[in-house]
Amino acid sequence: MHLLLEPGRSIVGPAGALITRLLYKKTNGKKNFLVVDAAMNDLLRPSLYRAHHEIVPVRASEESEGSPHETVDVVGPICETGDFFARDRELPVTQEGDLLALLDTGAYGMVLASNYNTRPRAAEVLVDGKSVKVIRRRETVADLVRGER
């Protein structure tokens, strides 16, 4: 028997996280939304085929342990029905301005990112222990129109 394995995604997937900021909270009837500054152009997998990514607050774990939770949809600001990261997800209560981490985005985060809706792609940051380095700066609108005449 010949067995061939390609472990790429299982190694690279957990190596990345998309960090996003909660812009505002919105309620529509019984539905609660967290509108964040990341969008489907930054991480397409949830919109494309409902891929599940854990979403956690970026704060000390002692703060979130035992804190109240709420059921929310985590959505981006593009105003497309497909611009979402999670639906009916139980998350710790967050406030506007809080940071959230979408986990396990290393394999298909930036490689599937786009400039849809004229949105610059996010910066990429390498974290190695306590060392932090920007390895790809955030694009600007000027970067997006550079090749146009």
Q: Which of 79, 127, 141, 145 is catalytic?
A: 79
Strands laid side by side in the 31-36 sheet = 55-57, 99-103, 17-28, 31-36, 69-75, 84-92
The number of helices, as runs of H, and strands, as runs of E, in the chain is 4, 8
C-alpha dihedral sign at 40, 46, 49, 53: positive
Question: Taking Cα atoms as reference points, which of 52, 50, 48, 59 lies closest to residue 19?
Answer: 59
Active site annotation includes 79: yes
- Cα pseudo-dihedral 33, 38, 44, 46, rounded to 10: -30
Residues marked active site are found at 79
